[in-house]
């Protein structure tokens, strides 16, 4: 496979010839003009970030003639054309103090053409990004979701970036600087060359590295060394100082996470690694992988409330595993030369699916989850798969190809359409099946750990990208254990089959069972999601805020009664609704016919839904299959020395 070097191996980054690169690709008109060997600069002002505005001043080396600059569209890690163009103010172009008119390309709205006058060698561009006031302000993947609060901010450089069309992001050099609200601290994978009164200046890096180096800043900030060589550090910013209080036990688990990941992969592909973790209820929970850092966003009380801590336990392990699976090894279709070329998401069953599996495996091996909680997570995702009727018409392969659509669907109707994380979870169950197959057929001598070492380890290196395709995955699996892996994956990627793929769980010695007791992870996710999850009894969930009914499980009592997502629950059997009343009604139906009357408000009307159900409370759990080996316990067992 070709290897694309993203960084120099040791020497400091030497700025490439900006204009030479552009001339070679014909994006600048005046061939023969002397080229300027210098970095572009980007100076970002985040002082107004708390009110939803960040701005940038760019200085781009140019030559006279027509120039097309583009705004990043396809974003690594988001696997989608999610560049927040609808929230972009600008550009305003000036040169030598004069305003320059520009024209947007009618066919490519991310492209801006400007004529550079004779004698001009530097183009100034001003941009601002205006973020949504709501935590999840994503509209059709274009509006920028909120990234700042009164006490913290997340700076994603792509939101304020322009670069010459047709140029590889590896071939462009940018020198960045940032102004922060006074007194705030920050962390980023970028190397600081000078501290300023209200921020910092960073060493010039390629555009690839800059856009891969998100910055976290905050009024209340904490740095926690996690060990490792190269060193790994956890940086936390929170909306309140008390939310930074991580228990010593939790800190020890994150330190163990570093040891377990390095043990699993056998090598690292970063010079240092920075976990950036924002704790706030004002920004949508999320995680975004980078090569030498990750951008993690969790509810404010993720370190204080144990249920929320548990629900968020696989976030950092998942994003960390991406440094190997997704950043170092990357599907060919996602190893794009710039941010305008479409990303092809067909291999996300490896990029995201295996990472989802490894995130849980690393969480349990490092102690962030107990073995029981690890099992509960599998029960939860298997039951969710089982309730999604879209598996009858949409293959796993289609759900990966459709990732740019699925990521931006709301939770309403998720079970009919496949929700955004469906292909993560189905693929995780399939990687468990692959793991159990290798363990069984090799009589316990080999496991998926050997695949991880072979495919993602090797020699430790600085960041670089080694692309792969389907055949490379198959041949690495075959090198671990000879099997028809091509047939194994093709069948699972293309089949249309109702019901979850439970074969891996069964081979690991466990069966999915719906029982009357919610697992601790079910309760943890209810606390994290702020809802009441009745998917497996009445067939919907109720959001705490507004008592809104969300998603309707196909063929469930709620579906058959004609319920709609977005309705508000008012009363149950004539009594004002409450969570407690709903639980009581499920466990002891007042009516022998099994009818439950729900009064709901839909739009401006009240209506009564008659649900026929007498099955009691039902929640996903796993039960042991007698006479089988407990492979989940073996998979969960820590590997690294204490
Ligand atoms: Zn991921």
Q: Ligand 1: distance of its center to the CA of 148 in Å?
A: 22
Nearest to 265 by CA among 1, 463, 455, 5: 455
Q: Ligand 1: distance of its center to the CA of 319 in Å?
A: 6
Nearest to 604 by CA among 562, 567, 559: 567
Helix, coil or strand: residue 610: strand
Q: Ligand 1: distance of its center to the CA of 212 in Å?
A: 15
Residue range 47-68, pLDDT digits in tens: 999 999 999 999 999 999 999 9
Considering the chain, what percentage of its residues have pLDDT values greater than 70?
92
Q: Which residues keep their CB under 5 angstroms from ion ligand 1?
A: 352, 355
Q: Ligand 1: distance of its center to the CA of 478 in Å?
A: 25
- Two tokens, residue 363: 């969480």
CA 167, 170, 175, 180 dihedral sign is positive
Nearest to 292 by CA among 364, 192, 210: 210
Q: Ligand 1: distance of its center to the CA of 172 in Å?
A: 27
420 and 412 in contact (C-beta within 8 Å)? no
Q: Ligand 1: distance of its center to the CA of 597 in Å?
A: 41
153 and 49 in contact (C-beta within 8 Å)? yes
Give dist(CA 462, CA 281) in Å, integer.
Answer: 35
Considering the chain, what percentage of its residues have pLDDT values greater than 90?
84
Give dist(CA 318, CA 185) in Å, integer.
Answer: 26
Cβ neighbours for 626, distance < 8 A, ≥ 6 positions apart: none
Residue range 313-348, pLDDT digits in tens: 999 999 999 999 999 999 999 999 999 999 999 999
CA 116, 119, 121, 124 dihedral sign is negative
Q: Ligand 1: distance of its center to the CA of 315 in Å?
A: 9
Residue 624 DSSP class? E
284 and 230 in contact (C-beta within 8 Å)? no
Give dist(CA 357, CA 359) in Å, integer.
Answer: 5
Residue range 213-255, pLDDT digits in tens: 999 999 999 999 999 999 999 999 999 999 999 999 999 999 9
CB-based burial label for 631 (10 Å; 0-12, 13-18, 19+): buried
Model pTM greater than 0.85? yes
Residue range 483-542, pLDDT digits in tens: 999 999 999 999 998 889 999 999 999 999 999 999 999 999 999 999 999 999 999 999
Cβ neighbours for 51, distance < 8 A, ≥ 6 positions apart: none
Beta bridge partners of 296: 277, 287
Q: Ligand 1: distance of its center to the CA of 318 in Å?
A: 6
CB-based burial label for 194 (10 Å; 0-12, 13-18, 19+): exposed
Least confident of 34-38, 244-248, 275-279, 428-432: 34-38
Q: Ligand 1: distance of its center to the CA of 78 in Å?
A: 9
pLDDT at 156 over 80: yes
Nearest to 234 by CA among 192, 277, 269: 277
Q: Ligand 1: distance of its center to the CA of 408 in Å?
A: 15
- Two tokens, residue 13: 């980054």
């Amino acid at each position: 496979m070709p290897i694309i070097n993203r960084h120099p191996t040791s020497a400091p980054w030497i700025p490439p010839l900006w204009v030479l690169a552009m001339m070679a690709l014909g994006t600048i008109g005046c061939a023969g003009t002397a080229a300027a060997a210098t970095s572009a600069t980007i100076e970002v002002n985040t002082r107004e970030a708390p009110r939803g505005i960040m701005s940038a001043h760019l200085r781009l080396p140019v030559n006279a003639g027509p120039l097309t600059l583009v705004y990043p569209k396809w974003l690594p890690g988001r696997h989608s054309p999610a560049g927040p163009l609808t929230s972009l103010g600008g550009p305003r172009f000036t040169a030598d103090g004069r305003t320059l008119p520009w024209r947007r390309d009618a066919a490519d709205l991310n492209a801006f053409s400007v004529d550079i006058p004779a004698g001009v060698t530097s183009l100034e561009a001003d941009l601002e990004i205006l973020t949504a006031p709501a935590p999840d302000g994503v509209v059709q993947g274009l509006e920028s979701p909120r990234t700042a609060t009164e006490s913290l901010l997340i700076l994603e450089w792509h939101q304020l970036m322009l670069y010459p069309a047709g140029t590889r992001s590896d071939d462009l050099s940018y020198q960045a600087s940032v102004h922060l609200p006074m007194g705030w601290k920050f962390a980023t994978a970028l190397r600081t060359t000078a501290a300023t009164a209200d921020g910092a200046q960073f060493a010039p890096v390629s555009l690839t590295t800059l856009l891969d180096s998100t910055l976290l800043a905050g009024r209340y900030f904490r740095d926690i060394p996690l060990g490792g060589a190269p060193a790994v550090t956890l940086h936390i910013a929170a909306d309140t100082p008390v939310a930074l209080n991580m228990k010593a036990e939790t800190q020890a688990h994150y330190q163990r996470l570093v040891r377990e990941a390095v043990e699993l992969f056998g090598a690292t592909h970063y010079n240092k690694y920075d976990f950036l973790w924002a704790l706030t209820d004002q920004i949508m929970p999320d995680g975004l992988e980078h090569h030498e850092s990750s951008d993690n966003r969790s509810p404010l009380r993720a370190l204080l409330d144990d249920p929320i801590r548990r629900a968020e336990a696989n976030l950092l392990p998942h994003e960390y595993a991406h440094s190997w699976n997704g950043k170092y090894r990357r599907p060919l279709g996602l190893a794009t030369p710039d941010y305008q070329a479409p990303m092809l998401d067909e291999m996300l069953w490896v990029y995201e699916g295996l990472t989802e599996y490894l995130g849980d495996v690393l969480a349990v091996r490092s102690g962030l989850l107990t073995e029981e909680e690890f099992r509960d997570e599998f029960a939860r995702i298997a039951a969710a798969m089982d309730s999604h009727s879209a598996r009858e018409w949409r293959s796993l392969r289609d759900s990966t190809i459709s990732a740019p659509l699925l990521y931006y669907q709301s939770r309403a109707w998720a079970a009919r359409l496949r929700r955004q994380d469906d292909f993560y979870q189905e693929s995780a169950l399939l990687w468990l099946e692959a793991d159990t197959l290798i363990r069984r057929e090799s009589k316990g001598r080999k496991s998926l750990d050997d695949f991880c070492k072979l495919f993602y380890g090797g020699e430790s290196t600085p960041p670089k990208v080694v692309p792969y395709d389907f055949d490379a995955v198959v041949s690495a699996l075959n090198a671990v254990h000879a099997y028809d892996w091509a047939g194994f994956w093709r069948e699972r990627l293309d089949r249309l089959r109702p019901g979850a793929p439970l074969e891996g769980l069964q081979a690991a010695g466990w069966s999915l069972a719906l029982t009357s007791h919610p697992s601790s992870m079910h309760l943890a996710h209810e606390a994290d999601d702020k809802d009441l999850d009745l998917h497996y009894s009445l067939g919907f969930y109720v959001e705490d805020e507004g008592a809104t009914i969300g998603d309707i499980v196909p063929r469930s009592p709620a579906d058959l009664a004609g319920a709609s997502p977005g309705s508000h629950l008012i009363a149950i059997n004539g009594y004002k609704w409450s969570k407690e009343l709903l639980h009581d009604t499920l466990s002891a139906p007042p009516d022998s016919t099994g009818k439950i009357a729900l009064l709901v408000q839909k739009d401006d009307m009240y209506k009564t839904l008659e649900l026929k159900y007498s099955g009691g409370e039902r929640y996903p759990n796993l039960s042991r299959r007698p006479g089988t080996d407990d492979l989940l316990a073996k998979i969960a067992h820590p590997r690294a020395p204490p």
